[in-house]
Copies of this chain bind each other. A is one copy, B any other.
Amino acid sequence: MPVTLAELARRFGAQLRGVGDTPISGVAALNRAGPEQIAYVSDRAHRQLLNASRAAAVVLRAVDARAYNGNALIVDHPQLCFARIAAFLEHSDGPRSGIHPRALVDAEAQVAATAVVGAAAVIEAGAVLGEDVDIGPGCYVGAGAEIGAGSRLVGHVWIGARCVLGRNCLMQPGVVVGGDGFGYVKDGEHWIKVPQLGRVVIGDDVEIGANSTVDRGALSDTEIGDGVKIDNLVQVAHNVRIGEHTAIAACVGIAGSTTIGKRCAVGGQVGIADHLSIADDVRVLGKSLVASSIAEPGTYSSALAAETAVRWRRHVVRWKRLEQTEQRLRRLEEDVSSFKEEQR
């Protein structure tokens, strides 16, 4: 059901220009938007597509609005305004509804009347799907798992038994929540598996990227707080706890039992060792290794930037002969010290 452009202006504090009655039913990119869709402009590349757009309206800055004759919402931060409009208008990107005839829903699963289950999805006994939950094709929801209202599993997602997702979560394709943690004890030269008996408990508004993995806890649970955003191919080990609104970029690995604070930002390919405690508001730059706990907010790094291989090798050689460099320095100090002695 569309809303009017005037309603969007009022709701999101934008300055309206043009026809306030224009119906808006969705968002789209500038070059693909149709007559009931709203688009936005925030960089140079898209500015030039502006007057060719068929969008019903465009969200833009005042400076860009001058060069455009169509319906507009004028704001200081077009991308943020557009993101809010999108969240308001779009609850799902597909017209699916109900349970697909080729979905496999156990008779003892609880599925809300408004929930959607796609083709070839498997829902086990005791699983609970809340209102407006959207389980995409080929997903698996284990026995006793709970998926909160409004959450969406895009496709090929695996949620293990007893794991819990809050409301309005979004799991991208291939995500695995609730695989076993990597826990063994040595018995001679053999590794004996420690049963992984905990769950994964995920808060509200959490997004996890494609093919990322979150292991279930060994005894207690692995916990991901409200509003956490995790990118693709990230590993979250057993008993990790991640605080609210923390963002984690792609290819990060977080080892077992580590606690990460709130509002942290972890760059791509960062590694965080096990059993650490990271404070709130910590930022770790891409490819760094966090090897010990961090008690203070701030920015941390151990990343080295690439140079030409020739120059890089020279830098490494000089570093690796620091022992000799220090010895030369010591000899000089002795020489200079004996000069001084003599001069007295």
Which A residues are within 8 Å of any B CB, using their own CB?
27-32, 45-46, 77, 79-80, 82-84, 86-87, 90, 93-94, 102, 104, 118-120, 122, 137-138, 140, 143, 154-156, 158, 160-161, 170, 172-174, 176, 179-180, 182, 184-187, 189-195, 197-198, 205, 207, 209-213, 215, 219-220, 227, 229, 231-233, 235, 237, 244-245, 247, 249-251, 253, 255, 262-263, 268-269, 271, 273, 284-292, 298-310, 312-316, 318-320, 322-323, 325-326, 328-329, 332-333, 335-336, 339-340, 342-343
Contact = CB atoms under 8 A, between A and B. Distances in A.
B193 A87 contact: yes
Nearest to A237: B250
Query: How many copies of this chain does the complex contain?
Result: 3
B176 A174 contact: yes
Contacts of A179: 154, 172-174, 209-210, 232
Contact of A193 (B83, B122, B194, B251): B83
A287 B252 CA distance: 11
A190 B229 CA distance: 10
Given A155-B140, A232-B179, A309-B300, A250 B255 contact: yes
A320 B22 CA distance: 60
Nearest to A156: B158
13 contacts: A80-B186, A104-B137, A138-B156, A182-B229, A237-B250, A269-B289, A273-B286, A290-B306, A291-B306, A300-B309, A301-B307, A322-B325, A332-B333
Contacts of A302: 304-307, 312
Contacts of A186: 80
A325 B323 contact: no
Nearest to A298: B308
Most chain B C-beta atoms within 10 Å of own C-beta, residue among A28, A245, A298, A303:
A303
A34 to B, nearest CB: 12
Given A182-B231, A185-B83, A269-B253, A306 B288 contact: yes
Contacts of A90: 195
Most chain B C-beta atoms within 10 Å of own C-beta, residue among A104, A211, A288:
A211
Contact of A329 (B45, B227, B328): B328
A312 to B, nearest CB: 4
